[in-house]
């Protein structure tokens, strides 16, 4: 049986439908199928855990959006050095995430470079994926500089890859005039600062959370799970309560980085638990909606990370008894899907003030866009069109950046259950 479009449509294809750029859903998918990426890796990939984090993260993110494919050149096989993959062979890990090993870069695809790669003719559409300390991003190869790609902050290489995916997407989509021509990045330590400038205030990573409650296991919750596996936890070093009531649908494969076609239909909690426990974490499942009835018990995690898409759940975040809540939300429509917001509670304003249950949320009317008119002509009824229109545009790399930025607040001191890393 064919699933309804609102649970099967690629969430990034919806960007081109909602913006009016394409006439049909098929045209939107054909556009994504023209997007490809080559990743060129240097010899560091064999011995650097950080470089492997960058490679596996970029392959995982890119294969969901660049449907022409993701090809890796220069990859001599090596042992896997990061908990992100369970395979012993890095080549197998890349393949299982959807990457293809290739002998040379295609001339018509942009290139992402990880490590010291000599490029014969640096292309205008080639970026160096780079990081240092808590700062990470991409630099056009033709600019000729990079950071030192150290291992000070294990999330930095993952962040650099998410930024790279965002730049490659903007280049393919042709919706930003500077894509491919600019350095782009972020400081996890001081998000408002210039990420290219050295920052002597960046600390060594000293504490990690030992117990967390994750609310929502979709795009954001799976991104956070991926990032947790980048961190230097010992076996059984982190206990997680995983809360979600939903099952994985085809559309999740386009945005959620622990999802693939083999796990569709499973509860989101159970898929996340399976992935996390295979990497040494301890999980407990809560498969009800988060709401006013949710109450943390005294022996449960005091720190919660929320990544849900509805105001009703957000409005009661402070009523469940957590000591600290970090909430992240992604932008939705074609103008804001690259944006995210973060709140922490307790804070200067209560959650119920930020998301009043009486607030009527108006969404842009996109029913007149050509792709929706085409679906109507094909017999999709008004209810089906309304359900499809209500779904958000989504890309996986924004969720990873959002969770990376919000993770800082959870690197908690002992009073919040922090575990010393060294």
Q: Which residue has the tokens 């330590």?
A: 189
Helix (H) or strand (E) holding 413: none
CA-based torsion, 172, 176, 179, 185: positive or negative: negative
Map residue 345 onto helix, strand or coil: strand
HEC sequence for 72-133: EECCCCCECCCCCCCCCEHHHHHHHCCCEEECCCCCCCCEEEECCCCCCCCCCCEEEEEEEC
Structure tokens, 142: 């033709």
Which is nearest to 77 in space by CA: 61, 90, 68, 88? 90
Q: Which residues of 371-404 are buried (b: 16+ CB within 10 A; e: fewer)?
A: bbebbeeeebeeeebeebbebbbbbbbbbbbbbb
Q: Are 105 and 73 in contact (CB under 8 A)?
A: yes
Q: Give helix 370-377 / helix 25-32 axis angle, nearest 10°.
A: 130
Q: Are 156 and 404 in contact (CB under 8 A)?
A: no
Report the DSSP beta bridge partners of residue 241. Answer: 213, 284
> Which of 164, 230, 306, 383 is labelled catalytic?
383
d(CA 210, CA 414): 9
CB atoms within 10 A of CB 341: 13
Helix (H) or strand (E) holding 386: helix 382-390
Q: Which residue has the tokens 């050149």?
A: 73
Report the DSSP beta bridge partners of residue 209. Answer: 418
Map residue 272 onto helix, strand or coil: helix
What are the C-alpha distances in Å from 380 to residues 8, 249, 357?
14, 20, 31
HEC sequence for 179-193: CCCCCEEEECCCCCC
164 is an active site residue: no
The residue ranges of DSSP E strands in 334-374, in sequence order, are 340-345
CA atoms within 13 A on the CB side of 305: 29
In eight-state DSSP terms, residue 348 is: S
User: Active-site residue numbers?
Assistant: 383
């Amino acid at each position: 049986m064919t699933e309804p479009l609102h649970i099967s449509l690629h969430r990034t294809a919806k960007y081109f439908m909602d913006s009016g750029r394409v006439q049909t859903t098929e045209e939107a998918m054909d556009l994504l199928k023209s997007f490809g990426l080559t990743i060129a890796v240097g010899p560091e990939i064999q011995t650097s855990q950080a470089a492997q984090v960058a490679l596996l993260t970029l392959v995982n993110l890119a294969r969901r959006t660049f449907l022409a494919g993701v090809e890796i050149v220069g990859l001599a096989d090596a042992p896997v050095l990061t908990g992100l993959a369970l395979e012993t062979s890095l080549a197998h890990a890349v393949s299982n995430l959807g990457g293809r090993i290739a002998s040379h870069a295609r001339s018509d695809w942009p290139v992402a470079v990880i490590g010291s790669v000599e490029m014969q003719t640096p292309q205008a559409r080639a970026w160096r994926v780079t990081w240092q300390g808590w700062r990470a991003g991409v630099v056009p190869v033709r600019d000729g500089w990079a950071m030192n790609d150290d291992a000070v902050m294990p999330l930095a290489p993952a962040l650099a890859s998410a930024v790279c995916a965002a730049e490659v997407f903007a280049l393919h989509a042709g919706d930003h005039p500077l894509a491919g021509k600019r350095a782009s990045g972020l400081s996890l330590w001081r998000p408002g600062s210039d990420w290219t400038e050295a920052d002597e205030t960046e600390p060594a990573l000293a504490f990690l959370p030992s117990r967390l409650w994750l609310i929502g296991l979709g795009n954001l919750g799976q991104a956070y799970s991926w990032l947790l596996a980048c961190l230097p936890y010992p076996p059984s070093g982190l206990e997680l309560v995983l809360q979600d009531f939903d099952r994985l649908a085809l559309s999740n494969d386009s945005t959620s980085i622990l999802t693939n076609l083999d796990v569709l239909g499973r509860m989101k909690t159970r898929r996340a638990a399976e992935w996390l426990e295979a990497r040494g974490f301890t999980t407990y499942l809560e498969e009800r909606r988060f709401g006013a009835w949710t109450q943390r018990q005294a022996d449960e995690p005091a720190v919660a990370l929320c990544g849900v898409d509805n105001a009703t759940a957000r409005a009661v975040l402070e009523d469940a008894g957590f000591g600290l809540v970090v909430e992240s939300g992604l932008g939705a429509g074609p103008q804001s899907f690259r944006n995210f917001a973060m709140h922490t509670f307790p804070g200067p304003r209560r959650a119920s003030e930020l998301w009043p249950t009486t607030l009527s949320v108006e969404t842009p009317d996109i029913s007149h866009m050509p792709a929706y008119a085409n679906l109507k002509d094909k017999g999709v009824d008004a209810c089906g069109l309304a359900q499809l229109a209500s779904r958000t545009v989504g890309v996986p790399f924004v969720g990873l950046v959002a969770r990376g930025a919000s993770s800082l607040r959870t690197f908690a001191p002992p009073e919040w259950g922090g575990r010393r890393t060294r």
